[in-house]
Structure 1
Amino acid sequence: MTASTRSSRRFLLGFALAVLLIAGVVSSLASSSPDGLDAATTRGCDTVETDTGASLVGDCIAKNAEDHHLSASPLADYTVSGRSGLTGVAGIIGAAATFVVAAAAFRLLARGRRHRAGP
C-alpha cells in the first residue's frame, strides 16, 4: 500500500467519524416543534384529540393531507421505531447509510472509468 493510499484511507476514515459524530449530536438537537411548512399548512385549523389520535378541524391545507407511505418505517420522523429519544441514533444510521451508498456509487464510477480508459 502506498503512502498516498494510506493517507486517503486515513482521511476518509476521519471524515466518516466526523460525519457520524456531527450527525449524532446535531440530530439529537432537532426540534419537535412544527417547521414553517407545517405551521403554514395548518393555519386556519385547530388540532382536536380523538380516540384515534389527533384530528384537524377547520379550513386549512393540511386537513386533507394523508400519511406518507413510509410513515410507519423504523426511522420515520427522525426516530428509531417511534422512540423520539433516539434521534441521535437515527441521525447516525442515516449518515452511515448515506456514506455507504455514496462509497458504492463512487466505486462504480471509478470502475467504469478504468474500463473505459483501457489497459
Structure 2
Amino acid sequence: MSTRRFFAVALVVSLLVAGVASYYASSHPDGLEYVAEQTGFIDSAEDSATADSPLADYQTSGVDDARISGGLAGVIGVVVMLVLSTGLFWLVRRRGTDDVDSDDARPEHARQSEA
C-alpha cells in the first residue's frame, strides 16, 4: 500500500470516527466530574474561559440537532489538528532539509575529514 493511500484511508477513518461514532460515546461524566459529584464539591466548579467558544462542550454552537452538532465539532477538530500537525511537520522537515543543504555547501575536504 502506498503512503498516500494509507494517509487517505486514515483521514477517512478519522473523519468517520469523529463525525459518526462520536455520537455514540458515553454521555456519563468523566472521572473528575464523577468524583466531584460523589464528594459534593461539583457546585463549586467554575466555567472554563472557553465555555462560550464555538466548539465548547463537544458541540457546535448554532446547530440545534445534537447528533449533527457533535459530529460537526468532531470533524472540525480533526481538520484543525490535521492542518496544524501538517504545518508543523512541514516546518520541521523544511528546517531539517536546510541543515542538510548547508552541510553540502562545505568544501569536499572538510566533509571528508569528519568521516
Determine if the TM-score, normalized by the shorter chain, exceeds 0.5.
Answer: yes
- Residue 61 (structure 1) shift: 2.4
- Residue 101 (structure 1) shift: 0.8
Runs of 4+ in 1 over 6 A off after TM superposition: none
Q: Work out the percentage of aligned pairs sharing the same amino acid.
A: 38
Q: Show structure 1 runs of 5+ residues with no match.
A: 1-6, 45-59
Following the alignment from structure 2 to structure 1, what is the Cα–Cα distance between the partners of residues 89 and 32?
A: 34
Q: Show structure 2 runs of 5+ residues with no match.
A: 105-115
- TM-score of the aligned structures, taking structure 1 as reference length: 0.72
Q: Which structure has greater helix proportion?
A: 2
Choose which of 8, 21, 24 in structure 2 pairs with 1:29: 24
Q: Which entry has the higher C-alpha Rg, 1 or 2?
A: 2
- Map of 2:42 onto structure 1: 62
Q: Which structure has greater strand proportion?
A: 1
Following the alignment from structure 2 to structure 1, what is the Cα–Cα distance between the partners of residues 6 and 79?
A: 16
- TM-score of the aligned structures, taking structure 2 as reference length: 0.74
Residue identity matched to 1:78? Y
C-alpha RMSD of matched pairs (Å):
1.8
Tell me the number of residue pairs that the alignment of Structure 1 and Structure 2 aligns: 98
